[in-house]
Amino acid sequence: MVAKAITSLVLALLLAACGGGNGDDPRDLYRVSGVIVPDALNRVDTDTNDPDTPLIPNNTPEEAQPVLAPALIGGFVAAPGTDTRFGPDGDKYDMFRVDLQEGQKIVLDFPESPGVDLGLYLFDEDGEAQDATVGNSAPLSLAPDAAGTYIVAVRADSGMSNYALRLDATHSLALESRRAPRVSDDFVSGDLIVRHPRDRGISMADTARGMGLRIAAGHPAREQLWRVSGDRAGQAMEALSGWSPVRQRLRWADPEDQARYETLRAMKTLGEMPDVEAVSLNHIVRPTRLPDDPFQGLQWFHRNIDLPLAWDIGTGEPPDSEVVVAVIDTGVFLEHEDLRGQLLPGYDFIQMEPTGDDPGDSPMLGASSWHGTHVAGIAAAATDNATGIAGVSWGARILPVRTLGEGGGTLYDTLQGIRYAAGLPNDSETVPERPADVINLSLGGGSFSQAQADLYQGIRDEGIFVLAASGNSAGSVTFPAAYDAVFAVGATDAVNDRASYSSFGNQLAFVAPGGDMRVDRTGDGYPDGLLSTLVDDTSGSRKSAYAFYQGTSMATAVASGVVALARSVHPELTPERFEQVLVAGLLTDDLGPEGWDPETGWGQINALRTLMAVTDGDSDLDPVLTARPGRLEFGLTEDLLEFSLRNVGGGSLRVTEVQANTPGQTDWMQVNPKSVGADGLGSYTVMVDRDGLPDGSYEGSITVQTESLEDLVIPVLLRVAAPELALDTVGRIYVVLVDADGEAVAARGVDPENGVYNYRFDDVAAGEYHIVAGTDMNNDGFICDAGEACGAFPTLSLFEQVQIDRDREGLDFSVGFRARVGDTLLGSGQSGAGDGSAGFARP
């Protein structure tokens, strides 16, 4: 039997206490099966430490593994002398040959661990070094200064480690944060700014002289400028290299870069000395201005609901009225850099304390979901503050209420939290200063209760909106979303189709973007999850982070943010009035058959239409033509996509021409009407033909002309590559079946077939189980360690039990590596503990 390790995983966020057990009859045995899809753009190093995988060296420029950008590559490197399958020589280099554009970002992330020292290097086709970055902590990043074919290398200078290497999309934003220095940075070669404990001033001066350095400026009580003397440069660098595990000199294209690289190594070596408190380069500084909300460009769902246009009407900030959104969840990380100013005093109904803080829902570092923090950021993160992301409502205040914790939560605690948020009597014997205007329930579980139905109806009668997630089982809408007084919210993907996991049925009110991590149809170089605030606790302390999640939980947060915006511009808006205009078709974009349908309800919430409807202002507005999606990304495999044209403003307009443009290239794209009215508005299909096109990236566009407005241009991107490079993969994975007691009762190793993983367990006893899958690239016997691919049914952010009382097919989910932007985590947040042993044991 596989070892028990349930505590290392993302725990269920369900309200129901599901009992568990092995069924009434132990003789009842069933089959469990499904398909696991790798996240979009995932690739894997061809020589990891997993002995059950093929060993294809990629250690030299001649052996460099060909890859395409954008990509997220999971891998493993080991310095010589480490105990691995590679013997005494280790696996020092992983090299990848890739075509990059000028400024295209390369980011290396790896778990911080004592004795592990990785570097990121950029070589030209001939193996001459162009740039490098070293640092004491991840992430490390580089960017080429010209387009061309490059070799990107990960190097292990000491220790061994998993890593995630991200090659950004060509057109993605140049997001900068507190990254490690690069050879190509603008700094004074040979200069170092050093700070050390005040009582070490004399000894440190002696240390500097002994290393061939001189103290050129400063004072022992503060920072000092250490400089390599010109006639002693060789002595200084030789002395410093004695502290470093690196002896090998690289061959640099520009000889001056050798001295700059040695300065970086000297900085790193000094930083590791016990007598040095801090050390940095002497950068050349110039005036600059950071853009606001640097990650907002990755929040594709804002455009899907016309949120930027809606902000022209109201942002939720003064003079709009202040609105309170209660997040009933795992709590919220109160010190998150992008949430601090948005939070009100909350309450913890698990510990019964007057705080809404989220301490984590797992005892293992790196394994908590931070679900409430993610939900809160989507709805109302601080916006226009040059930090992180943008919330749907800029001015909404978050009331954090913790009712979910380790192992989930109870229905009773959650009901107390809802009562508290609504200003009703509850077990805390206190209420917030003012009741919430909107209550967000990104959770589900339990069955119908008349008492609960009456509670929700009473809250609605007080003018408070309650929105709840429809569920992630692709089945019927779950409770509490199924109550009549609650607005049930389903999920769509980036192209406005119902997400495959989204539950549906008669109780569904409408849908909102919830994402699909299996694909990258937005073309931003990341799987299509929703980016929001999260926590990185892998170092042992909580730090602000940002991550992509998918699910109806995320869709509900989007909807809550839109309702908060509507309430801010129309403070007298009631749930009844909102439902009236919803049914009238004034708040949403109808995605299915005309009117209501069970899969998408009344359609997808549209922020612009909602604000226009509640302010009764659309009759005086000019027409506004929009396309959804606003960009078509065919990637490597898609050949047919759709877009729709709509007038989201007032008045009327008429489309006169829709034209495909492939300038200077073969006509590889065709546009045809699918369901179009006399005014030219409606849905269109776009087909592409890769036959005869050489490998590479192609950019085209679709121009939409009208009688009265400026032309609307829809960018189109197409990629062509050999079939073996086009498939997403994380390499070999291990699928583990875990019973209700947390015991891993079965495991299977699975290799990809045509880009997917087909798994099956036979002879499974009746009961409730979790299903988890991941890689074991470091061969420590555990999957889902830091830096490894991980996935769970139905998603990592909402890890649910499956009832096995019959043969179960179609238990599908995705698996993928995790990455960062700048110094912030991007992914599911469930990367395991940093010690490399916090996953499930594999066979």
Contact 306, 318 (CB under 8 A): no
SS3 content of the chain, % helix, strand, coil (to 5): 15, 35, 50
647 has which bridge partners? 625
Distance (Å, rounded) from C-alpha 601 to C-alpha 506?
A: 8
Contacts of 87 (CB under 8 A, 6+ apart): none
**What are residue 654's phi and psi, to 5 degrees?**
-135, 125
Q: At what angle do helices 607-614 and 552-569 cross, to 10 degrees?
A: 30
**What gap in Å lies between CA 151 and CA 416, rounded to an integer?**
57
DSSP assignment of 312-335, as one string? TT--SSTTSPP-EEEEEEB-B-TT
Which residues, 6 or more positions from 331, have their beta carbon under 8 angstroms from its beta carbon? Answer: 346, 348, 355, 356, 357, 358, 359, 372, 373, 400, 401, 402, 404
Element housing 487 (H / E): strand 487-492
Rounded to 5 degrees, what are φ and ψ at 296? Answer: -60, -30
Helix (H) or strand (E) segment spanning residue 419? helix 411-421
487 pairs with which residues across the strands?
Answer: 467
Residue pointed to by tokens 């290398």: 153
Residue 785: active-site member:
no
Q: Which of 141, 189, 393, 553 is catalytic?
A: 553
Strand ranges in 52-159 using DSSP code E only, listed in sequence order: 65-66, 71-78, 93-100, 106-109, 117-124, 129-134, 140-142, 148-158
User: How far is 296 from 838, CA to CA, in rounded Å?
Assistant: 32
One-letter amino acid at 518 equals R
What is the spatial distance between Cα 791 and Cα 828, in angstroms, rounded to a whole number?
9
The SS3 of residue 296 is: helix
State yes or no: is 553 an active-site residue.
yes
Cα separation, 250 vs 239, in Å, equals: 18
Going by the DSSP 8-state scheme, the letter that residue 152 receives in this structure is E
Nearest in space to 488 (alpha carbons), one of 498, 477, 472: 477
- φ, ψ of residue 6 to 5 degrees: the values are -60, -30
Dihedral of the alpha carbons of 403, 404, 408, 409, in degrees to the nearest 10: 0
| CB-based contact 409:328 (threshold 8 Å) | no
| Active-site residue, from 329, 348, 357, 528 | 329
Cβ–Cβ under 8 Å, residues 107 and 819 = yes
Which sign, positive or negative, has the C-alpha torsion 591, 593, 598, 602? positive
Instruction: Single out the catalytic residue among 196, 371, 374, 770.
Output: 371
Tokens found for residue 509: 């009110």
Cβ count within 10 A of residue 253: 13
Residue 747: CA count within 13 A, CB half-sphere: 22
CB of 602 closer than 8 Å to CB of 585: yes
Instruction: Report how far apart the first and last C-alpha atoms of the chain are (Å, whole number).
Output: 9
Strand partners, 533: 546
CA distance 582 to 204: 71
The DSSP call for residue 182 is B
How far is residue 414's CA from residue 348's CA, in Å, rounded to a whole number?
10
Asked about 371 being catalytic, the answer comes back as yes
| 121: phi then psi, degrees, rounded to nearest 5 | -130, 150
CA 325 to chain centre: 23
Helices 575-583 and 607-614 cross at an angle (nearest 10°) of: 120
- Residues annotated as catalytic are 329, 371, 553
